[in-house]
Every structure is written in structure tokens, then in C-alpha cells.
Chain A
Amino acid sequence: MKCREVTGFLSACLDAYVDGELDDRDCGELEAHLAECESCREAVRNQARLKALIRERASTVRAPEGLVSRIQACLDEADLEERAEDATVLARNEGVSSEPKPALPPALATLDELPLAPHGARGSRGNYFRDPRESMRCGCEAQGAWLSQSCGSDEQRGRTQMQRRPKSGSHSLASPQVPSQKWRSMPLFASMAFLLVFVWVAAGGFTHDPLVDDAVRKHARGLPLEVTGPAESLQRWLRDKVDFKPEVLVFPSGLEPLGARLSHVREHPAVYIGYGRPGSGPDGERQASLFVFCDPSFDPTLERYRHRHVAGRSMVITNKNGFNVLLWKENEVVYSLVSDLEERELFELIQAASTQ
């Protein structure tokens, strides 16, 4: 029994009717027709049954055990990051202002006379504090652009930047809690201290790079691995997990991949690969973390970064909280390697590294 009248209707009308989406007027018209048309009534019945079938068979699926607690663990992670961010912001707001300042007043131009921070000391992680006089001289040279981080130029190759905040003495951050325009009324010493910190910030002492900060934080925490195994199996697992193609770095010796997981660097979905000493097993100490993510806006060639040519690539080398960080880009994919290792060993490893 074919319904000729309904070809005048839109076929979609019946679907919409069953979905409860027809307005009153169309509904009324359709129901008037249905009252007289068995075949359309049948179609409506079938449509309703199809819907019910789909709903019944597909919606009884329950989330697997432990998904909720895994989600809560991720939320914990997000909370920690949020708090760390807030703390950084707080410290920054109460400490040094980051607006560009007018040129250095002549009276304070000769920074050699300033008292010095811990100098030349080699930190336990193979990260040595640079002689702060160097950083101040650099800052001084770049008077018109205090925060251009000129200390990050290639001239400084071989020296890491002083990232660790000085903990004692005249270089505490306690003094410079005054807005810049009041410096004239401050005693000379206090204003010098303020300047010192200022220059220290200019030298990259307060690494403002949120990508680096986030990667370092996650390395220090040692993210739980979702999958363990050799590089080939990790590369396979990673396939289709993200929108870009991450390459698992393989080191011939010194470091081996312990496992991987999906993570974020800031808001970018990222792949995380943890490395440890060969033979240390999946629970072994995390010696290095490789983050791979997509960030078209990240520009590694910026002058504010310190660069080094390694393995045919220009890499950014920086240091944060005692960890060495290498950053490089392949097309739009950013690789960030955070490590406990000393710079020299890291470079040797990278030189010899290959991809899966």
C-alpha cells in the first residue's frame, strides 16, 4: 500500500515527527494524514522502533572500572599545574615588573661594582651558575632592550644560564618590591639590588617560557607510563593517537625508552616518552623525558634562546630548576627533551640518536 500523498510531504517530516521535533502545526497536519494512512503509520512505528533499538542496545554500555578514578588522577594533575601557575603568577606580580623600562640611568651603568651572587659554582646536577657579572654586562650592553634576553645569544655558547634563584644574601627578592618609578627615592643599595634582579630576569633567570616550565614540571614529577616497551612497540602504540606524527628517539647507548603516555604541554596534546638507564626496567629512574607536540607558533630561532648546532639541527638549549632542556622543531612538530643529565653527555647522546 503505497502512500502517494506523502511524496508531497518531506520524507524528513516523519523522522522529525518521531524525534519530537515537528512544531504543532506540522504535527497536526501529519497526524491528520496518519489517521488515514496505514502505510505511513507503519513507517512511523518502524522508525520509532529503530530508535528504541539503537538506544537500548547501545546505551547500556557502562564506562569501565577505574575510568573515573583515572579521570580524577588527571584532574589532580591539572590542579597541581594550576596551583603552580598561580604561584608563579603571584611571585611574578609581587616581584619584578616585566614591562620595558627606560634606559639605564648613568649612575648605575657600571655594574661591575655591584655585589655578586654565587659565582662560578658548579651545581650538583652539572648545571653551573654563570658568573652573574657576565649576565649583568650583557644586560648593560642591551640598554634599550632590557628584556630582549640578549644573553641568550650564541656568544654565550658553552655556558648555561643561571636559572636557580639566588637564595641568600643581598640577592634575595625581598627588596625589590617597589614599583620602578620609585627607584629614585630608594637608597642606592636597594635600587642596585632591584636592578640586579632585573638584569637577572633579563638574562632569562626567571625562565618565562611556559612550554619549558610545563615540560620540566612534568619531568620532575615522573608521569605514570601508559605503555611500556621498546621503541618499536611505543612507536606502534603512538600511531593514530595524535594528529601529528611523533618520532620516538632512539639512543644507541646511555638511555633507553622506558615507556610512553599521552599528555599535554600547556594546552597542546602531547606524546610523552620516558627514558632511563638501559636495563633499569619500566620503574627505573627517569633520566630524561621527551615531549612531542604540535605548536606552529613556537619559534625556536628567536634570539632570546641559546642555540647549539647538534646532529645537523639548530637546537635551543636552556636550563630550568637544574634540568637541561633541549628544544627543536621538525616542520610544526616540537620536540622537547628534559633531562637530569649533564649538558655534554646530553649532546653526545643526541648526536648519536636516531628515530624509529
Chain B
Amino acid sequence: MSPKNPERRTNESRSEFEMLALEHVDALYSSALRLTRNERDAEDLVQDALVRAYRFFDKFERGTNIKAWLFKILTNTFINRYRRKAKERSVVEGVEQQTVTERFFSRDMSSMSDDPETYIFERLLSDDVLRAIDELPVDFRLVVVLADIQEFSYKEIAEIVGCPVGTVMSRLFRGRRLLQRRLTEYAVEHGILPAEAAEPASAEGNGQLADLAAYRRRRGG
């Protein structure tokens, strides 16, 4: 490689990178904060991810979704540097057992509150909501963040995280149920909900988490 004018080429691609990438710093940071759970690490993670993105900028296909590309790099950087693998795995296993037996329509949330229009969890403080998210096992937390905070599609999430769409759906489902359970516990703690709300519903009907594809096959479509 013998660049004609290396300095100018660097300057051009640098401005382009800044223009395209820096607008996503807030989004990257807020997700990094949920992943690393502390501000210092979140900053470092965003910094590392953006420097890596800059180094690989010539591999980015202009016109494609740069936010997804940046988040993929953020996720990889996170997994490589900050994730404590062994500890998280055992937590996920224990939790999965419970989720599967919990019936989807376990309770009618609004019937629990005086005002049927109020969504019960809205009365929780932001701190509690964030804490509940942060307490999710990292695999679930990651997809919940990408889907519900950053609003990526299932397909985009699958690419960012590097797993099949079915896995994304399954993790989202489980993650959200866990979150709901945790938020219920906080609501009971704060007296917003009566104590019975925290009891897991009895397993009724089909406790299996089947997948959409299998359902379609059975349906014959």
C-alpha cells in the first residue's frame, strides 16, 4: 500500500467517521452503562468501541446501518473485555428453570391497581427500573437493551449479538418475564402492589416455550 497523500486521506475519513458515528455516542453510552453497570467502565467501553470502529472504518459499507454496525462493535468489545463469563452462566441456568414454568398470562396487571388506566410499574422510580434491568443475566440484558432501549429489529439484534433470530426471541421473552417479575417484587416492596402479586402463578396449560416456526409448521402454513 502506497497511499498518495496519506495525511489527507486520513483527514477525510476522520471527518466522515465523526459525522456518522459521534451522533450515536449517547445511545452507545446508555447501553454500555447497562452492560457494564458502572460509569467508568461504560465510558471506557464506548471509547474502546469507537476507536476500534474507527480502525475498521474502511470495512464499513457506506449506506448501511451504521448504528447497528457500531453496536456490533460495542457488543464484541464488551464480550471480549468486560464480561465475566463463568459467573453469569450459572445464574442464567437457575433462572431459566423458573421462567419456563411461569405462565405467560399470569396476572392481569391493571386489576391490581386502583386506577385501571395506570400501568402499575410506572409508579416505580427510574432507579428501580434500571436496577431491575441491571440485575438481569447479561445475555438477557443485552437483548432487552437492544430491543427495548435501542429499538433494533430481531434481525439486527441477531447480527449484533451473533446468534439466530430464534435465540433472540427466546432471550427477549425470558428476559422480559424476568424483568416483570423483578419489577413486581419492587412494587410489592414499595407497597404499590399487594404481597400476593409476587407469588408465581401456577403452571397452567402448556409450559413449554415453543417457537414461532414450530407453531407455523403445526398450523400447516
Q: Which residues of A contact B (CB under 8 A)?
A: 1-4, 6-7, 9-16, 19, 21, 25-26, 39-40, 42-43, 45-47, 49-51, 53-55, 57-59, 61-64, 67-68, 70-72, 74-75, 78-79, 82-83, 86-87, 89-90, 93, 240-243, 262, 264, 267, 269
Contacts and interface: CB of A to CB of B under 8 A. Distances in A.
Contacts of A79: 10, 14
Given A7-B205, A46-B109, A67-B25, A54 B48 contact: no
B110 A61 contact: no
Contact of A75 (B17, B144, B147): B17
B33 A61 contact: yes
Given A12-B212, A19-B147, A262-B44, A87 B6 contact: yes
Interface of B: 1-3, 6-7, 10, 14, 17-18, 22, 25-30, 33-34, 39, 41, 43-44, 46-48, 50-51, 54-55, 80-82, 84, 104-105, 108-110, 119, 121-122, 126, 129-130, 133, 144-145, 147-151, 153-154, 169-170, 172-173, 176, 179-180, 204-206, 209-212, 214-216, 221
A12 B25 contact: no
B22 A42 contact: no
26 contacts: A4-B205, A12-B209, A15-B169, A15-B173, A16-B212, A42-B110, A49-B122, A54-B133, A54-B179, A57-B130, A63-B26, A64-B43, A67-B46, A71-B22, A71-B25, A72-B18, A74-B51, A78-B54, A79-B10, A83-B7, A89-B2, A93-B2, A240-B82, A241-B44, A241-B81, A243-B81
A61 B30 contact: yes
State the main secondary structure of chain A at its contact with B: helix
A14 B104 CA distance: 10
A68 B169 contact: no
Contacts, number: 171
Given A54-B129, A57-B130, A75 B51 contact: yes
Nearest to A86: B6
Given A21-B153, A54-B133, A267-B55, A70 B119 contact: no
Nearest to B51: A74
A22 B145 CA distance: 20
A10 B212 contact: yes
A71 B46 contact: yes
Given A19-B147, A42-B109, A43-B105, A75 B14 contact: yes
Nearest to A66: B43
A59 B149 contact: yes
Contact of A71 (B47, B179, B206): B47
B104 to A, nearest CB: 4
B97 to A, nearest CB: 17
Given A12-B173, A12-B209, A63-B25, A42 B10 contact: no
A52 to B, nearest CB: 8
A15 B172 contact: yes
A50 B179 contact: yes
B108 A39 contact: yes
Contact of B149 (A58, A62, A78, A243): A58
Contacts of A16: 154, 169, 212
Given A10-B210, A13-B212, A83 B43 contact: no
Contact of B50 (A11, A74, A241): A74
Nearest to B56: A267
Given A67-B46, A86-B3, A43 B104 contact: yes
A55 B148 contact: yes
Contacts of B47: 67, 70-71, 74
A57 B170 CA distance: 24
The 3 closest A-B pairs by CB, nearest first: A63-B29, A61-B30, A11-B104
B47 to A, nearest CB: 5
Contacts of A54: 129, 133, 144, 148-149, 179
B173 A11 contact: yes
Contacts of A72: 18
Contacts of B80: 243, 269
